[in-house]
Amino acid sequence: VSGVSRGVLLIVGLGPGGPDHRTAAAVRAVMEAEVVVGYGPYVDQCADLLDPAQEVVRGAMGEEGARADEALDRAAAGAVVALVSSGDAGVYGMAARTLARAASLADPPRVDVVPGVTAALAAGALLGAPFADDFAVLSLSDLHLEWPVVERRLLGVASSGIALALYNPRSKARTWQLDRVLALLVQVRGAATAVALVHDAGREAEAIERATLGTIDPERVTMRTLLVVAGESGRDVGPWLVALREAAPPVDPAPLRAEAST
Ligand SMILES: C[S@@+](CC[C@H](N)C(=O)[O-])C[C@H]1O[C@@H](n2cnc3c(N)ncnc32)[C@H](O)[C@@H]1O
């Protein structure tokens, strides 16, 4: 026993944008923290909750490892720390990397994860209910993963016919990847498949664009866009895009029978 009082690290998902989509637990975690650590724009996202008595550590893009270490160090030294992320911290956020680092420490502080509303759910609600049937969440980023792996996963789920929520679809530096993804999706799902570009869900600049795989303009997609690809049970109902589970096409049993008899 060291005799030093132990702190705690709360890894907090702030939701997709404004205060309306923040959970009560996330608000409490930020307000009760002595130290708030986060990528600058995420700290800004909870600025309305911060008090001058709190210490705020703003990090830069690409410094995620250093941010995780700083948060863990401060908690290990006895502080109550909130490490803030947008959306849900466990969905392409800071949670996994921070927990992995914590697990490698000889004497880690207590770490809890506070869930948040992830971008796919905020975007889905704006569109209607496109994820009411089965759906998959993928990131198109090849920053930490080789591109062929991204493609293998995409093809695996695209051919299943379920709806797709595509995170990190395009950035200034990553442009050819989305072109490639759209070409693959047209082959597997058909050019008439409905897509939606949801920009800045829950933020001031929130905007929705509807298109199809054949008409989408990739230039409209940015790193603030969540790209939704309707599933085989996706339907337009009035202004809404919804998934009706009962509308999924039946499986043709012939190929299955042929396979069984070989
Ligand atoms: C690194 S991921 C972070 C995801 C976040 N942890 C979450 O759960 O929503 C960043 C990507 O999430 C999507 N995204 C995050 N917030 C968004 C929002 N408010 N509107 C639309 N897309 C968003 C975009 O595709 C963006 O490129």
- CA distance linking residue 237 with residue 208, whole number of Å: 16
CB 36 within 8 A of CB 43: yes
CA 243 – ligand 1 centroid, Å? 22
Task: With a cut of 60, say whether residue 252 has pLDDT above it.
Answer: yes
Please give the pLDDT value at position 254: 78
200 Cβ below 6 A of ligand 1: yes
Residue 138 tokens, joined: 């993928």
Q: For strands 225-229 and 207-212, give the pairing.
A: unpaired
For residue 3, pLDDT over 60 is answered with: no
CA of 136 to the centre of ligand 1 (A): 15
Over residues 25-79, the pLDDT tens digits come to 999 999 999 999 999 999 999 999 999 999 999 988 888 899 999 999 999 999 9
Position 4 pLDDT exceeds 70: no
Q: What confidence tens digit (pLDDT) does each residue in 123-171 have?
A: 999 999 999 999 999 999 999 999 999 999 999 999 999 999 999 999 9
Separation CA 200–CA 177 (nearest Å)? 21
Tell me which residue of 82, 7, 74, 99 sits closest to 46, measured CA to CA: 82
Q: How far apart are CA 231 and CA 15, in angstroms?
A: 25
pLDDT > 70? residue 262: no
Residues counted in the chain = 262
The C-alpha atoms of residue 130 and residue 247 are separated, in whole angstroms, by 13
86, 98, 199: which to mutate for ligand 1, most atoms within 8 A of CB? 86
Ligand 1 atom nearest the C-alpha of 120 is 9
Q: Answer yes or no: are the C-beta atoms of 196 and 215 closer than 8 Å.
A: no
pLDDT number for residue 152: 98
More confident residue, 119 or 63: 119
Q: Ligand 1 centre from 10 Cα, in Å?
A: 20
Read off the pLDDT of each residue in 185-196 and give the average, rounded to a whole number.
Answer: 98
